[in-house]
Amino acid sequence: MKKIRTALISVYYKTGIDQIVTLLKAQGVQIYSTGGTYDFIHKLDPTVKTVESLTSYPSILGGRVKTLHPKVFGGILGRTGLESDQREMAQYEIPSFDLVIVDLYPFEETVASTDDASAIIEKIDIGGISLIRAGAKNFNDVLIVPSRKHYEELIQLLETQGGETSLDDRRRFACYAFAESSHYDSAIYRWFARDDEHRELRICESGATTLRYGENPHQKGVFYGDLDALFEKLHGKELSYNNLLDLEAGLTLIREFDTPTFAILKHNNPCGIACRQTVREAYMAALAGDPVSAFGGVLVCNRPIDLDAAEEINKLFIEVIIAPGYEPGVLDLLFTKKNRVVLRLKEDQYNGFTVKTALNGYLVEDRDLHTESIDDFNVVTKAAPSRAEVKDMIFANKVVKHSRSNAITLAKDQQLLASGIGQTSRVDALRQAIEKARSFGFDLHGAVLASDAFFPFDDCVKLAHEAGITAIVQPGGSVRDQESIDCCDQYDICMVFTGYRHFKH
Protein backbone atom coordinates (compact mmCIF):
# COMPACT_ATOMS: atom_id res chain seq x y z
CA MET A 1 0.00 0.00 0.00
CA LYS A 2 1.18 3.50 -0.83
CA LYS A 3 -0.04 6.68 0.84
CA ILE A 4 -1.12 9.57 -1.38
CA ARG A 5 0.75 12.67 -0.17
CA THR A 6 1.04 14.81 -3.30
CA ALA A 7 -1.38 15.12 -6.21
CA LEU A 8 -1.36 16.86 -9.59
CA ILE A 9 -4.75 17.77 -11.04
CA SER A 10 -5.25 19.11 -14.58
CA VAL A 11 -8.77 18.69 -15.97
CA TYR A 12 -10.85 20.25 -18.74
CA TYR A 13 -14.26 19.60 -17.20
CA LYS A 14 -14.45 20.47 -13.50
CA THR A 15 -17.65 18.54 -12.75
CA GLY A 16 -17.06 15.98 -10.00
CA ILE A 17 -13.61 17.22 -9.03
CA ASP A 18 -14.94 19.11 -5.98
CA GLN A 19 -15.72 15.94 -4.01
CA ILE A 20 -12.24 14.57 -4.77
CA VAL A 21 -10.53 17.78 -3.68
CA THR A 22 -12.52 17.80 -0.43
CA LEU A 23 -11.42 14.24 0.34
CA LEU A 24 -7.78 14.94 -0.53
CA LYS A 25 -7.76 18.06 1.62
CA ALA A 26 -9.18 16.10 4.58
CA GLN A 27 -6.44 13.50 4.11
CA GLY A 28 -3.69 16.13 4.14
CA VAL A 29 -2.71 15.78 0.47
CA GLN A 30 -0.77 18.64 -1.13
CA ILE A 31 -2.37 19.50 -4.48
CA TYR A 32 -0.68 21.12 -7.48
CA SER A 33 -2.74 22.40 -10.36
CA THR A 34 -2.83 24.58 -13.47
CA GLY A 35 -4.85 27.41 -15.00
CA GLY A 36 -8.60 27.14 -14.66
CA THR A 37 -8.32 23.98 -12.63
CA TYR A 38 -6.21 25.84 -10.05
CA ASP A 39 -8.79 28.64 -9.85
CA PHE A 40 -11.56 26.11 -9.27
CA ILE A 41 -9.65 24.13 -6.62
CA HIS A 42 -8.41 27.24 -4.79
CA LYS A 43 -11.98 28.00 -3.73
CA LEU A 44 -12.14 24.61 -2.03
CA ASP A 45 -8.56 24.30 -0.81
CA PRO A 46 -6.54 27.54 -0.42
CA THR A 47 -3.37 25.47 0.13
CA VAL A 48 -3.34 24.32 -3.51
CA LYS A 49 -0.14 25.29 -5.34
CA THR A 50 0.30 26.31 -8.94
CA VAL A 51 2.47 24.25 -11.25
CA GLU A 52 4.21 27.54 -12.08
CA SER A 53 5.39 27.78 -8.46
CA LEU A 54 7.11 24.44 -8.99
CA THR A 55 8.59 25.04 -12.45
CA SER A 56 9.25 28.80 -12.20
CA TYR A 57 7.81 29.05 -15.74
CA PRO A 58 4.42 30.56 -16.59
CA SER A 59 1.87 28.96 -18.88
CA ILE A 60 2.99 30.04 -22.37
CA LEU A 61 1.94 29.99 -26.03
CA GLY A 62 -1.70 30.61 -25.26
CA GLY A 63 -1.86 27.74 -22.78
CA ARG A 64 -0.27 25.22 -25.14
CA VAL A 65 2.60 24.67 -22.67
CA LYS A 66 1.75 24.40 -18.99
CA THR A 67 2.93 21.11 -17.51
CA LEU A 68 5.67 20.10 -19.97
CA HIS A 69 8.62 20.52 -17.61
CA PRO A 70 11.20 18.19 -15.98
CA LYS A 71 10.02 19.14 -12.48
CA VAL A 72 6.52 17.94 -13.35
CA PHE A 73 7.41 14.80 -15.27
CA GLY A 74 10.32 14.01 -12.99
CA GLY A 75 7.87 14.01 -10.09
CA ILE A 76 5.65 11.53 -11.95
CA LEU A 77 8.32 9.28 -13.46
CA GLY A 78 10.71 9.20 -10.50
CA ARG A 79 11.04 5.67 -9.09
CA THR A 80 10.96 5.50 -5.30
CA GLY A 81 12.81 2.20 -5.31
CA LEU A 82 15.71 3.47 -7.42
CA GLU A 83 18.38 5.32 -5.42
CA SER A 84 19.74 7.25 -8.42
CA ASP A 85 16.26 8.61 -9.23
CA GLN A 86 15.76 9.72 -5.65
CA ARG A 87 19.19 11.41 -5.57
CA GLU A 88 18.41 13.43 -8.70
CA MET A 89 14.96 14.39 -7.45
CA ALA A 90 16.48 15.67 -4.22
CA GLN A 91 19.19 17.52 -6.14
CA TYR A 92 16.68 19.33 -8.35
CA GLU A 93 14.02 19.71 -5.64
CA ILE A 94 11.41 17.66 -7.49
CA PRO A 95 8.41 16.52 -5.41
CA SER A 96 7.05 13.00 -5.97
CA PHE A 97 3.50 12.85 -7.27
CA ASP A 98 1.50 9.92 -5.91
CA LEU A 99 -1.74 10.81 -7.69
CA VAL A 100 -2.31 12.41 -11.11
CA ILE A 101 -5.82 13.32 -12.28
CA VAL A 102 -6.42 14.34 -15.90
CA ASP A 103 -9.46 15.02 -18.05
CA LEU A 104 -8.41 15.66 -21.65
CA TYR A 105 -9.51 18.36 -24.06
CA PRO A 106 -12.77 17.18 -25.69
CA PHE A 107 -11.40 16.43 -29.15
CA GLU A 108 -14.22 14.14 -30.34
CA GLU A 109 -16.90 16.52 -29.08
CA THR A 110 -15.22 19.36 -30.96
CA VAL A 111 -15.05 17.33 -34.20
CA ALA A 112 -18.76 16.54 -33.83
CA SER A 113 -19.71 20.18 -33.30
CA THR A 114 -17.61 22.10 -35.85
CA ASP A 115 -15.76 21.91 -39.16
CA ASP A 116 -13.34 24.64 -38.09
CA ALA A 117 -9.94 22.94 -38.45
CA SER A 118 -8.15 25.46 -36.24
CA ALA A 119 -10.63 24.92 -33.40
CA ILE A 120 -10.25 21.16 -33.75
CA ILE A 121 -6.45 21.36 -33.74
CA GLU A 122 -6.49 23.39 -30.54
CA LYS A 123 -8.44 20.60 -28.85
CA ILE A 124 -5.61 18.12 -29.37
CA ASP A 125 -4.32 17.72 -25.84
CA ILE A 126 -0.52 17.53 -25.51
CA GLY A 127 0.31 18.03 -21.86
CA GLY A 128 -2.64 16.00 -20.58
CA ILE A 129 -1.95 12.96 -22.74
CA SER A 130 1.71 13.11 -21.69
CA LEU A 131 0.73 13.20 -18.01
CA ILE A 132 -1.50 10.16 -18.54
CA ARG A 133 1.22 8.12 -20.23
CA ALA A 134 3.85 9.10 -17.66
CA GLY A 135 1.59 8.22 -14.72
CA ALA A 136 0.63 4.90 -16.29
CA LYS A 137 4.23 3.99 -17.06
CA ASN A 138 5.20 4.54 -13.43
CA PHE A 139 2.20 2.70 -11.97
CA ASN A 140 4.47 1.17 -9.34
CA ASP A 141 4.46 4.55 -7.61
CA VAL A 142 1.66 6.63 -9.16
CA LEU A 143 -2.13 6.30 -9.36
CA ILE A 144 -3.21 7.84 -12.66
CA VAL A 145 -6.86 8.81 -13.16
CA PRO A 146 -7.17 9.48 -16.92
CA SER A 147 -10.79 10.58 -17.24
CA ARG A 148 -13.74 11.86 -15.25
CA LYS A 149 -15.53 8.56 -15.88
CA HIS A 150 -13.15 7.04 -13.29
CA TYR A 151 -13.80 9.65 -10.58
CA GLU A 152 -16.36 7.50 -8.81
CA GLU A 153 -13.92 4.62 -8.45
CA LEU A 154 -11.24 7.02 -7.17
CA ILE A 155 -13.63 8.44 -4.58
CA GLN A 156 -14.42 4.94 -3.39
CA LEU A 157 -10.71 4.20 -2.99
CA LEU A 158 -10.11 7.42 -1.06
CA GLU A 159 -13.03 6.75 1.27
CA THR A 160 -12.46 3.04 1.91
CA GLN A 161 -8.67 2.89 1.96
CA GLY A 162 -7.88 6.11 3.79
CA GLY A 163 -5.94 7.67 0.94
CA GLU A 164 -3.81 4.61 0.26
CA THR A 165 -3.58 2.63 -2.97
CA SER A 166 -2.42 -0.89 -3.67
CA LEU A 167 -0.25 -2.01 -6.57
CA ASP A 168 -3.29 -3.76 -8.06
CA ASP A 169 -5.22 -0.47 -7.87
CA ARG A 170 -2.45 1.40 -9.63
CA ARG A 171 -2.02 -1.25 -12.30
CA ARG A 172 -5.78 -1.26 -12.96
CA PHE A 173 -5.86 2.51 -13.37
CA ALA A 174 -2.79 2.34 -15.61
CA CYS A 175 -4.77 0.02 -17.87
CA TYR A 176 -7.59 2.61 -17.93
CA ALA A 177 -4.98 5.22 -18.82
CA PHE A 178 -3.57 3.45 -21.85
CA ALA A 179 -7.11 2.65 -23.02
CA GLU A 180 -7.90 6.38 -22.79
CA SER A 181 -4.74 7.48 -24.57
CA SER A 182 -5.10 4.94 -27.38
CA HIS A 183 -8.75 5.92 -27.90
CA TYR A 184 -7.85 9.60 -27.95
CA ASP A 185 -5.00 9.13 -30.43
CA SER A 186 -7.16 6.93 -32.65
CA ALA A 187 -9.81 9.65 -32.83
CA ILE A 188 -7.17 12.20 -33.81
CA TYR A 189 -5.77 9.86 -36.45
CA ARG A 190 -9.22 9.24 -37.94
CA TRP A 191 -9.78 12.98 -38.27
CA PHE A 192 -6.46 13.56 -40.00
CA ALA A 193 -6.97 10.54 -42.27
CA ARG A 194 -10.62 11.25 -43.07
CA ASP A 195 -9.93 11.89 -46.77
CA ASP A 196 -7.38 9.13 -47.19
CA GLU A 197 -8.93 6.16 -48.99
CA HIS A 198 -6.06 3.92 -47.95
CA ARG A 199 -5.88 4.96 -44.32
CA GLU A 200 -4.81 2.45 -41.73
CA LEU A 201 -7.59 0.84 -39.74
CA ARG A 202 -7.94 2.42 -36.30
CA ILE A 203 -10.97 1.41 -34.29
CA CYS A 204 -11.03 2.14 -30.59
CA GLU A 205 -14.32 1.90 -28.72
CA SER A 206 -14.82 2.49 -25.02
CA GLY A 207 -17.61 0.98 -23.00
CA ALA A 208 -17.49 -2.81 -23.26
CA THR A 209 -20.85 -4.44 -22.53
CA THR A 210 -20.58 -8.13 -21.70
CA LEU A 211 -23.47 -10.00 -23.34
CA ARG A 212 -25.16 -13.13 -22.02
CA TYR A 213 -23.25 -15.04 -24.69
CA GLY A 214 -22.29 -14.76 -28.34
CA GLU A 215 -24.18 -16.17 -31.30
CA ASN A 216 -24.49 -19.45 -29.38
CA PRO A 217 -24.40 -20.21 -25.64
CA HIS A 218 -20.92 -21.75 -25.80
CA GLN A 219 -19.47 -18.52 -27.29
CA LYS A 220 -18.56 -15.40 -25.33
CA GLY A 221 -19.93 -12.09 -26.60
CA VAL A 222 -19.12 -8.43 -25.95
CA PHE A 223 -20.49 -5.23 -27.50
CA TYR A 224 -18.16 -2.23 -27.77
CA GLY A 225 -19.88 1.11 -28.14
CA ASP A 226 -22.49 3.37 -26.56
CA LEU A 227 -25.93 1.79 -26.87
CA ASP A 228 -27.35 4.42 -24.51
CA ALA A 229 -26.75 7.06 -27.18
CA LEU A 230 -28.87 5.07 -29.64
CA PHE A 231 -31.82 3.94 -27.56
CA GLU A 232 -33.29 3.81 -24.06
CA LYS A 233 -34.07 0.40 -22.63
CA LEU A 234 -37.46 0.63 -20.95
CA HIS A 235 -38.17 -2.97 -20.05
CA GLY A 236 -37.11 -6.58 -20.37
CA LYS A 237 -34.10 -8.84 -20.13
CA GLU A 238 -30.62 -7.96 -21.25
CA LEU A 239 -30.08 -7.69 -24.99
CA SER A 240 -28.29 -10.60 -26.61
CA TYR A 241 -25.67 -10.75 -29.37
CA ASN A 242 -28.34 -11.89 -31.84
CA ASN A 243 -30.78 -9.18 -30.68
CA LEU A 244 -28.18 -6.54 -31.50
CA LEU A 245 -27.58 -7.97 -34.97
CA ASP A 246 -31.33 -7.96 -35.66
CA LEU A 247 -31.61 -4.38 -34.39
CA GLU A 248 -28.79 -3.34 -36.72
CA ALA A 249 -30.56 -5.01 -39.65
CA GLY A 250 -33.95 -3.58 -38.70
CA LEU A 251 -32.82 -0.01 -38.14
CA THR A 252 -30.82 0.13 -41.38
CA LEU A 253 -33.90 -1.17 -43.21
CA ILE A 254 -36.50 1.08 -41.59
CA ARG A 255 -34.56 4.27 -42.29
CA GLU A 256 -35.26 3.65 -46.00
CA PHE A 257 -38.94 4.57 -45.45
CA ASP A 258 -40.66 7.89 -44.75
CA THR A 259 -44.29 6.77 -44.49
CA PRO A 260 -45.55 4.76 -41.47
CA THR A 261 -43.71 1.45 -41.77
CA PHE A 262 -43.46 -1.65 -39.62
CA ALA A 263 -40.82 -4.36 -40.06
CA ILE A 264 -40.37 -7.76 -38.43
CA LEU A 265 -36.83 -9.18 -38.43
CA LYS A 266 -35.63 -12.73 -37.95
CA HIS A 267 -31.99 -13.77 -38.25
CA ASN A 268 -31.08 -10.35 -39.72
CA ASN A 269 -33.66 -10.66 -42.52
CA PRO A 270 -37.01 -8.92 -42.91
CA CYS A 271 -39.69 -11.64 -42.76
CA GLY A 272 -42.43 -9.02 -42.82
CA ILE A 273 -42.63 -5.34 -43.70
CA ALA A 274 -45.38 -3.02 -44.88
CA CYS A 275 -46.19 0.66 -45.33
CA ARG A 276 -49.69 1.81 -44.36
CA GLN A 277 -51.61 4.84 -43.14
CA THR A 278 -51.65 3.72 -39.50
CA VAL A 279 -49.18 1.82 -37.31
CA ARG A 280 -51.70 -0.92 -36.61
CA GLU A 281 -52.39 -1.46 -40.30
CA ALA A 282 -48.66 -1.53 -41.06
CA TYR A 283 -48.05 -4.08 -38.29
CA MET A 284 -50.90 -6.35 -39.37
CA ALA A 285 -49.74 -6.29 -42.99
CA ALA A 286 -46.14 -6.98 -41.96
CA LEU A 287 -47.23 -9.88 -39.76
CA ALA A 288 -49.30 -11.38 -42.58
CA GLY A 289 -46.16 -11.60 -44.71
CA ASP A 290 -44.83 -14.46 -42.56
CA PRO A 291 -46.71 -15.07 -39.30
CA VAL A 292 -44.66 -18.21 -38.65
CA SER A 293 -41.23 -16.57 -38.77
CA ALA A 294 -42.52 -13.56 -36.82
CA PHE A 295 -42.64 -15.68 -33.65
CA GLY A 296 -39.72 -14.61 -31.48
CA GLY A 297 -38.80 -11.81 -33.89
CA VAL A 298 -37.55 -8.27 -33.50
CA LEU A 299 -40.06 -5.52 -34.32
CA VAL A 300 -39.01 -2.13 -35.68
CA CYS A 301 -41.29 0.82 -36.40
CA ASN A 302 -40.58 4.36 -37.58
CA ARG A 303 -43.58 5.87 -35.78
CA PRO A 304 -44.69 5.93 -32.12
CA ILE A 305 -46.66 2.82 -31.16
CA ASP A 306 -50.32 3.53 -30.42
CA LEU A 307 -52.67 1.46 -28.29
CA ASP A 308 -54.48 -0.11 -31.25
CA ALA A 309 -51.19 -1.47 -32.59
CA ALA A 310 -49.96 -2.50 -29.14
CA GLU A 311 -53.04 -4.64 -28.51
CA GLU A 312 -52.24 -6.66 -31.63
CA ILE A 313 -48.50 -6.80 -30.91
CA ASN A 314 -49.18 -8.11 -27.41
CA LYS A 315 -50.76 -11.24 -28.89
CA LEU A 316 -47.42 -12.33 -30.37
CA PHE A 317 -44.31 -13.62 -28.62
CA ILE A 318 -41.52 -11.24 -29.61
CA GLU A 319 -37.97 -10.73 -28.39
CA VAL A 320 -37.58 -6.97 -28.93
CA ILE A 321 -39.57 -3.96 -30.08
CA ILE A 322 -38.03 -0.58 -30.89
CA ALA A 323 -39.84 2.61 -31.89
CA PRO A 324 -39.32 6.36 -31.50
CA GLY A 325 -42.05 6.54 -28.86
CA TYR A 326 -45.03 4.92 -27.15
CA GLU A 327 -48.42 6.57 -26.64
CA PRO A 328 -50.18 6.57 -23.24
CA GLY A 329 -51.17 3.11 -22.02
CA VAL A 330 -48.96 1.26 -24.48
CA LEU A 331 -46.05 0.57 -22.14
CA ASP A 332 -48.32 -0.82 -19.43
CA LEU A 333 -49.57 -3.32 -21.97
CA LEU A 334 -46.18 -4.22 -23.43
CA PHE A 335 -44.63 -4.60 -19.96
CA THR A 336 -47.00 -7.47 -19.14
CA LYS A 337 -44.42 -9.86 -20.62
CA LYS A 338 -41.47 -9.62 -18.21
CA ASN A 339 -38.73 -10.67 -20.65
CA ARG A 340 -39.94 -8.67 -23.65
CA VAL A 341 -37.36 -5.99 -24.45
CA VAL A 342 -38.91 -2.58 -25.11
CA LEU A 343 -36.64 0.12 -26.50
CA ARG A 344 -37.19 3.78 -27.29
CA LEU A 345 -35.09 4.96 -30.23
CA LYS A 346 -33.29 8.20 -29.38
CA GLU A 347 -31.29 8.99 -32.47
CA ASP A 348 -30.68 6.88 -35.54
CA GLN A 349 -26.88 6.74 -35.61
CA TYR A 350 -24.69 4.58 -37.80
CA ASN A 351 -21.15 4.36 -39.06
CA GLY A 352 -20.47 5.18 -42.68
CA PHE A 353 -18.51 1.95 -43.08
CA THR A 354 -18.69 -1.69 -42.04
CA VAL A 355 -15.95 -3.95 -40.70
CA LYS A 356 -15.73 -7.74 -40.68
CA THR A 357 -12.97 -10.07 -39.60
CA ALA A 358 -11.72 -12.23 -42.48
CA LEU A 359 -8.86 -14.69 -42.58
CA ASN A 360 -6.03 -13.08 -40.60
CA GLY A 361 -7.25 -9.51 -41.03
CA TYR A 362 -10.25 -7.28 -41.60
CA LEU A 363 -12.52 -6.31 -44.48
CA VAL A 364 -13.68 -2.69 -44.51
CA GLU A 365 -16.17 -1.22 -46.95
CA ASP A 366 -18.44 1.78 -47.34
CA ARG A 367 -21.95 1.14 -46.08
CA ASP A 368 -24.44 0.50 -48.90
CA LEU A 369 -26.33 3.78 -48.73
CA HIS A 370 -27.58 3.94 -52.32
CA THR A 371 -31.33 3.61 -52.63
CA GLU A 372 -32.77 3.49 -56.14
CA SER A 373 -35.58 5.81 -57.15
CA ILE A 374 -37.60 6.08 -60.34
CA ASP A 375 -34.75 8.13 -61.80
CA ASP A 376 -32.57 5.01 -61.69
CA PHE A 377 -35.13 2.83 -63.47
CA ASN A 378 -34.29 1.94 -67.05
CA VAL A 379 -37.24 0.24 -68.72
CA VAL A 380 -35.76 -2.46 -70.99
CA THR A 381 -38.95 -4.21 -72.09
CA LYS A 382 -41.79 -3.32 -74.45
CA ALA A 383 -44.20 -3.15 -71.52
CA ALA A 384 -43.75 -0.22 -69.15
CA PRO A 385 -44.64 -0.38 -65.45
CA SER A 386 -47.75 1.34 -64.16
CA ARG A 387 -47.53 3.96 -61.43
CA ALA A 388 -48.58 1.37 -58.83
CA GLU A 389 -45.99 -1.09 -60.08
CA VAL A 390 -43.24 1.54 -59.92
CA LYS A 391 -44.20 2.28 -56.33
CA ASP A 392 -44.13 -1.41 -55.43
CA MET A 393 -40.83 -1.97 -57.27
CA ILE A 394 -39.21 0.82 -55.25
CA PHE A 395 -40.58 -0.80 -52.07
CA ALA A 396 -39.48 -4.32 -53.01
CA ASN A 397 -36.04 -3.13 -54.09
CA LYS A 398 -35.47 -1.48 -50.71
CA VAL A 399 -36.37 -4.71 -48.95
CA VAL A 400 -34.20 -6.97 -51.12
CA LYS A 401 -31.27 -4.63 -50.51
CA HIS A 402 -31.46 -5.58 -46.82
CA SER A 403 -31.94 -9.34 -47.36
CA ARG A 404 -29.21 -11.97 -47.41
CA SER A 405 -28.00 -12.97 -50.86
CA ASN A 406 -29.02 -14.57 -53.06
CA ALA A 407 -32.28 -12.76 -52.42
CA ILE A 408 -35.63 -12.31 -54.15
CA THR A 409 -38.55 -10.31 -52.73
CA LEU A 410 -42.16 -10.34 -53.88
CA ALA A 411 -44.38 -7.38 -53.03
CA LYS A 412 -47.76 -5.84 -53.78
CA ASP A 413 -49.52 -2.79 -52.38
CA GLN A 414 -46.48 -1.82 -50.29
CA GLN A 415 -46.40 -5.16 -48.50
CA LEU A 416 -43.78 -7.89 -48.53
CA LEU A 417 -45.60 -11.02 -49.67
CA ALA A 418 -42.60 -13.32 -49.35
CA SER A 419 -38.88 -13.47 -49.84
CA GLY A 420 -36.34 -16.09 -50.81
CA ILE A 421 -33.09 -15.44 -48.98
CA GLY A 422 -29.64 -16.87 -48.50
CA GLN A 423 -29.88 -19.25 -51.44
CA THR A 424 -26.95 -20.43 -53.52
CA SER A 425 -28.87 -19.93 -56.75
CA ARG A 426 -31.23 -17.15 -57.75
CA VAL A 427 -33.85 -19.45 -59.18
CA ASP A 428 -33.99 -21.35 -55.86
CA ALA A 429 -34.52 -18.05 -54.06
CA LEU A 430 -37.46 -17.30 -56.35
CA ARG A 431 -38.94 -20.78 -55.88
CA GLN A 432 -38.69 -20.33 -52.12
CA ALA A 433 -40.41 -16.93 -52.27
CA ILE A 434 -43.26 -18.18 -54.48
CA GLU A 435 -43.86 -21.23 -52.31
CA LYS A 436 -43.92 -19.14 -49.11
CA ALA A 437 -46.29 -16.56 -50.58
CA ARG A 438 -48.73 -19.24 -51.68
CA SER A 439 -48.51 -21.02 -48.32
CA PHE A 440 -49.75 -17.87 -46.62
CA GLY A 441 -52.60 -17.42 -49.08
CA PHE A 442 -51.26 -14.58 -51.21
CA ASP A 443 -52.36 -14.12 -54.81
CA LEU A 444 -49.24 -13.21 -56.78
CA HIS A 445 -51.11 -11.91 -59.83
CA GLY A 446 -50.06 -8.29 -60.21
CA ALA A 447 -47.16 -8.65 -57.76
CA VAL A 448 -43.66 -7.30 -58.43
CA LEU A 449 -40.34 -9.06 -58.05
CA ALA A 450 -37.05 -7.51 -56.90
CA SER A 451 -33.68 -9.24 -57.21
CA ASP A 452 -30.49 -8.15 -55.46
CA ALA A 453 -28.40 -9.13 -58.51
CA PHE A 454 -28.88 -9.87 -62.20
CA PHE A 455 -30.61 -12.92 -63.68
CA PRO A 456 -27.94 -15.20 -65.18
CA PHE A 457 -30.62 -17.00 -67.21
CA ASP A 458 -34.26 -16.46 -68.20
CA ASP A 459 -35.52 -19.21 -65.86
CA CYS A 460 -36.53 -16.65 -63.21
CA VAL A 461 -38.66 -14.78 -65.74
CA LYS A 462 -40.47 -17.98 -66.70
CA LEU A 463 -41.15 -18.83 -63.05
CA ALA A 464 -42.36 -15.29 -62.40
CA HIS A 465 -44.79 -15.50 -65.33
CA GLU A 466 -46.18 -18.82 -64.11
CA ALA A 467 -46.79 -17.26 -60.69
CA GLY A 468 -48.61 -14.23 -62.11
CA ILE A 469 -45.90 -11.63 -61.42
CA THR A 470 -46.18 -8.68 -63.80
CA ALA A 471 -43.15 -6.48 -63.05
CA ILE A 472 -39.48 -7.11 -62.29
CA VAL A 473 -36.74 -4.82 -60.95
CA GLN A 474 -33.14 -6.01 -61.05
CA PRO A 475 -29.66 -4.52 -61.58
CA GLY A 476 -29.01 -6.00 -65.00
CA GLY A 477 -25.49 -6.63 -66.22
CA SER A 478 -25.58 -10.28 -67.24
CA VAL A 479 -24.15 -11.35 -70.60
CA ARG A 480 -27.55 -13.04 -71.08
CA ASP A 481 -29.65 -10.00 -70.22
CA GLN A 482 -31.24 -10.03 -73.66
CA GLU A 483 -32.60 -13.54 -73.10
CA SER A 484 -34.41 -12.34 -69.96
CA ILE A 485 -35.65 -9.24 -71.79
CA ASP A 486 -36.99 -11.33 -74.68
CA CYS A 487 -38.70 -13.67 -72.27
CA CYS A 488 -40.37 -10.74 -70.51
CA ASP A 489 -41.58 -9.40 -73.85
CA GLN A 490 -42.97 -12.84 -74.71
CA TYR A 491 -45.05 -12.88 -71.52
CA ASP A 492 -45.85 -9.14 -71.46
CA ILE A 493 -43.90 -8.60 -68.22
CA CYS A 494 -42.32 -5.23 -67.66
CA MET A 495 -38.74 -5.15 -66.39
CA VAL A 496 -36.46 -2.32 -65.31
CA PHE A 497 -32.71 -2.31 -64.76
CA THR A 498 -31.25 -0.13 -62.01
CA GLY A 499 -27.53 -0.61 -62.61
CA TYR A 500 -26.98 -1.19 -58.87
CA ARG A 501 -26.31 -4.58 -57.31
CA HIS A 502 -27.05 -5.10 -53.61
CA PHE A 503 -25.25 -8.24 -52.47
CA LYS A 504 -25.40 -8.75 -48.72
CA HIS A 505 -23.47 -11.58 -47.08
The beta strands (E) that lie in 350-430 are given as 353-358, 361-366, 378-379, 408-412, 415-420
Q: Would you mind telling me the total number of residues written for the chain in this entry? A: 505
Q: Is the separation of the CB atoms in 107 and 145 below 8 Å?
A: no
Q: Is the separation of the CB atoms in 311 and 330 below 8 Å?
A: no
- Cα distances from 421 to residues 55, 163, 332, 424, 503, in angstroms, run 69, 61, 36, 9, 11
Q: Which helix (H) or strand (E) holds 10?
A: strand 6-11
Q: Is 444 exposed, middle or buried (0-12, 13-18, 19+ CB in 10 A)?
A: buried
One-letter identity of residue 395: F
Q: Is the separation of the CB atoms in 212 and 189 below 8 Å?
A: no
- Using DSSP, state whether 437 is helix, strand or coil: helix
The residues near 417 (Cβ < 8 Å, ≥ 6 apart) are 289, 410, 411, 433, 437, 440, 442, 444, 447
> Which residues have a catalytic role annotated?
137, 267
- Distance, in Å, from the CA atom of 420 to the CA atom of 441, rounded to the nearest integer, reads 16
Q: Is 235 exposed, middle or buried (0-12, 13-18, 19+ CB in 10 A)?
A: middle
From 60, 77, 76, 10, select the one nearest 37 (Cα to Cα).
Answer: 10
